[in-house]
Amino acid sequence: MLPLEETPSLIAQVYQRLLDAIADHTLAPGCRIRQGELAERLSVSRQPISHALHLLHRQGLVMEAGRKGFRVAPLDPDHILRLYEVRGALDGLAARLAACSRLDRASRRKLEDALRSGTEITPETPLPRLIELDVAFHRALYELSGNPVIEHTVGPQWPHMRRSMACVLSQPGYPVTVWEEHRAIVERVFAGDPDGAEHAAKSHALAAGRMTEAHLRASEAA
């Protein structure tokens, strides 16, 4: 995490930097957060660090640790599975609506570009980039649905889902599987197949949820 420059939006910058670090497990679940160390690393005072941590606490991303301050909240496998159940329903709806729409060239290109960027990943692609590309694909699909409520509903949950993505996208070979499933969704959408698009999108989300749950439970057992 590189030092930040002093600006009026310093708290927002610190919040985003911490959020990104928690999402990609740079600050891993259970990690103690030392405000003084963070302030030094980011070249800011403790005040914006404290404000940002309280915002993250409200989101359930960090938890109080007594006099020691805060720790990164653990990932709850039950919560993650329920989260993906909801996202599966919304992703399925987004894919169905997109498949039912008359898509103009510009709209199609956004989803095509998101898919192409994802299929260009390599084994050396860093985890934060894998997460960024995955989120961008789903946001492009939501936009294509024509229903902004889908993104408004999913949006507040992206920090939790990004943490979940970090668990499985770090597994060898799985990022390739993800983009194969994304391609199947796009093919059904562009073919104007609402049932097929909905099924592909919902199945993709539920499979990711189940895989993340299994990974977290195995980690707990270990």
Phi/psi region, residue 192 (left: phi>0; alpha: psi -120 to 50; beta: rest), is left
* pLDDT value of residue 104: 84
Average pLDDT rounded to a whole number, residues 29-35 = 91
Q: List, in order of start, the domains of the chain with CATH numbers.
A: 10-72 (1.10.10.10), 77-221 (1.20.120.530)
Query: What does the pLDDT look like over 135-150, one tens digit per residue?
Result: 999 999 999 999 999 9
* pLDDT value of residue 102: 87
Query: What does the pLDDT look like over 132-186, one tens digit per residue?
Result: 999 999 999 999 999 999 999 999 999 999 999 999 999 889 999 999 999 999 9
Is residue 103's pLDDT more than 90?
no
Give residue 6's pLDDT band: very low, low, confident or very high (50, 70, 90).
low
pTM of whole model > 0.85? yes
Tokens read off for 14: 């610190």
